[in-house]
Amino acid sequence: MFLLPKTNFSQNSTVMGLPYEEIHSKNDVAMPYQYVREADVMWSKIVWRRIELKEKKNHILYEPIRPIGEKKSLIDVILDGIENKGLTAYKATISDAGKEFDLILKQDEVNNVMGAKEEILLIAVLEGYDTVTVPQPYVSEEITSYLVKELWFFDKQRSVLDVRIIGFCPVREFFDDDIDPDHLMPRYSKVFWIHYPEIRSLLAKSPVYSANTDVSNLTYDDIFQKRYFSSFIYMESNPYNRTIGNYEIGLEALLEGERIKKKIFQYEQDLWEY
């Protein structure tokens, strides 16, 4: 009788052809933040950043376009969390600075802002023609950037300049066939805000995809906590509640964002004597 050779493949990994079970990310938990007392915060500043997924360093947040096993793009992780894991999505508006987490969106509203719609088609019947409504699902690949709201502060107890991400907002890039049938000018729309402390546990269990290796110990929470992304500042907290684009354009707007970033880090340097 012919016997198959024994292998050390686990029962849960034989389908994938791996000699081990992928459990690293499944058992991960978000690293708790260092406790901070209000009395120890000497200085703080809220800034808003934009992460462009078209930049090479940020491709890790965009890929894979379609889920590969446990690995999904960041937007697919978020949408799955909203639909199946009770994650809360908040309404995004044109000018929502300071009000990002006021209004909660329902599932059908999430689908709508993501671009899901219904298309009416004509079909031939015995009596002539009839109409049928066909649902058109959203396309997650249309998310090409993220807005990130974060708080920078100096903790005198630990003598460090620290940062906490407050939330982020996916931005959809799409073409409006009614206005631009030739697809010459894309439109951009904020879809919803996600409160980062709420999604951290989910991100900590979501491995990222790497085009260089199928083995990845990084999760999306690692990407944000270790600052493995490229971004630029487009707004800082100010009494006028205005973005940099309201008073600078083009290259000057990018330089203004860099000036704000340098000002934040210079604050820490100014506290020390050399």
Is 121 a domain residue?
yes
pLDDT of 210:
74
Is 192 a domain residue?
yes
Q: How many CB atoms neighbour CB 189 within 10 A?
A: 15
Distance (Å, whole) CA 174 – CA 165: 27
Distance (Å, whole) CA 260 – CA 248: 13
Mean pLDDT of the chain: 83
Domain count, the chain: 1
Is 7 a domain residue?
no
Is 29 a domain residue?
no
Is 94 a domain residue?
yes
Checking if the pLDDT of 53 tops 90, the result is yes
Span of 127-136, 152-161, 176-185 with lowest mean pLDDT? 127-136
Q: Report the share of the chain in percent with pLDDT over 90.
A: 46
pLDDT level of residue 126 (50, 70, 90 thresholds): low
102-128 b/e with 16+ CB inside 10 Å = b?
eeebeeeebbebbbeeeeeeeeeeeee
Contacts by residues 62-66 (CB-CB < 8 Å, ≥ 24 positions apart): 62/143, 62/144, 63/209, 63/211, 64/209, 65/141
For residues 172-183, give the mean pLDDT: 81
Checking if the pLDDT of 22 tops 70, the result is no
Cα R_g (the chain), whole angstroms: 23
Is 106 a domain residue?
yes
Is 18 a domain residue?
no
Containing structural domain, residue 184:
38-270
pLDDT of 142:
92
Distance (Å, whole) CA 71 – CA 128: 48
Distance (Å, whole) CA 218 – CA 213: 12
Residue type, 21: E
Checking if the pLDDT of 148 tops 50, the result is yes
Q: Supply the pTM of this predicted model.
A: 0.82
Checking if the pLDDT of 180 tops 70, the result is yes
Is 149 a domain residue?
yes
